[in-house]
Amino acid sequence: MAGNRTLTIIKPDAFGTGKAGTILAHLEAQGFVLKAARVMHMTLDEAAAFYDEHKERGFFGELIEFMSSGPCMPMVLEKDGAVLDLRAAIGDTDPTTAAAGTVRKLYAESKGRNAIHASDSDANAVRESGFFFPGLS
């Protein structure tokens, strides 16, 4: 899986405004293949467990509140160089500085409500995919 699959989450802001399908289509048009997906409403405990690596950061409480505020859509995507390509496709965390044509430039509301999560390394892609899709091969 390393290098070829990554995890993304369409966050509650984008999912709640009906942008999930548009975002998925945008990613598929860039060559990503959907391997697994589910719609869920994370609990505070699930959000805290998923974002545990950020628990010491000042934004942790706000992040887990937001991620548990409504439905979201975790997905495993496949493509050669998936992690880096997805990070490029979604753009900077802040949509005001994201490159034109990226998911965040097109669909994010703000730095805190930025439409989409993407794994930041191959190791995290494996861990994060397993969090939502245990046993996916």
Question: Do 115 and 108 touch, CB atoms closer than 8 A?
Answer: yes
Cα 53-129-65 angle, rounded to 5 deg? 50
Q: Indicate which residue of 26, 41, 54, 117 is catalytic.
A: 117
Burial class (CB in 10 A: 0-12, 13-18, 19+), 25: exposed
Question: Rounded to whole angstroms, how far apart are CA atoms 128 and 10?
Answer: 14
**21 in the Ramachandran plot: left (φ > 0), alpha (ψ -120 to 50) or beta?**
alpha
Nearest to 102 by CA among 93, 122, 54: 93
What the block records as the tokens of 121 is 């390394």
Is residue 54 among the annotated active site residues?
no
Catalytic residue annotation: 117
